[in-house]
Amino acid sequence: MFFGNLMILLAMAGPAQKGAEAPPVWMNMVPLLVMIFVFWFILLRPQMKQERQREEMRKTLSKGDHVYTNGGIVGTVISVKDDTVMIRSDETKLEVLKASVTQKKT
């Protein structure tokens, strides 16, 4: 909302007065750079942090951990290989990719 209002105010500013110098070209880029920085800081940075935490969790998976997968499977890890994890859910054993494990059950 704030940025929308800011853009409207900048658009309504009108042309420079006669006799006044035009602002440098780089000054026109400042609002765009500010929006890119805010986008990165609010959206991308937290997502990158969460992905790093998930990767660390996947590296530390061990036998007996209770996990959730992105397919909705809840189970217990019975073995861990390089790229896959064997999960037991009730009477069913499943081998899933480590990348599909989203979180450990606490």
Q: Is domain 62-106 given the CATH code 2.30.30.100 in the classification?
A: yes
Average pLDDT (63-92) is: 94
**Domain map (residue ranges) of the chain:** 1-60, 62-106
pLDDT of 95 strictly over 90 = yes
Average pLDDT (7-34) is: 74
Beta strands 74-80 and 101-104, pairing class: unpaired
Average pLDDT (56-70) is: 94
> With pLDDT > 70 as the criterion, what percentage of the chain qualifies?
82
The predicted structure's pLDDT at residue 29: 87
The predicted structure's pLDDT at residue 15: 62
Please measure the distance between the N-terminal and C-terminal CA atoms of the chain and give it in whole angstroms. Answer: 38
pTM of the model: 0.61
The predicted structure's pLDDT at residue 28: 83
Cα–Cα distance list, 1 to 6, 7, 49 (Å): 9, 10, 26
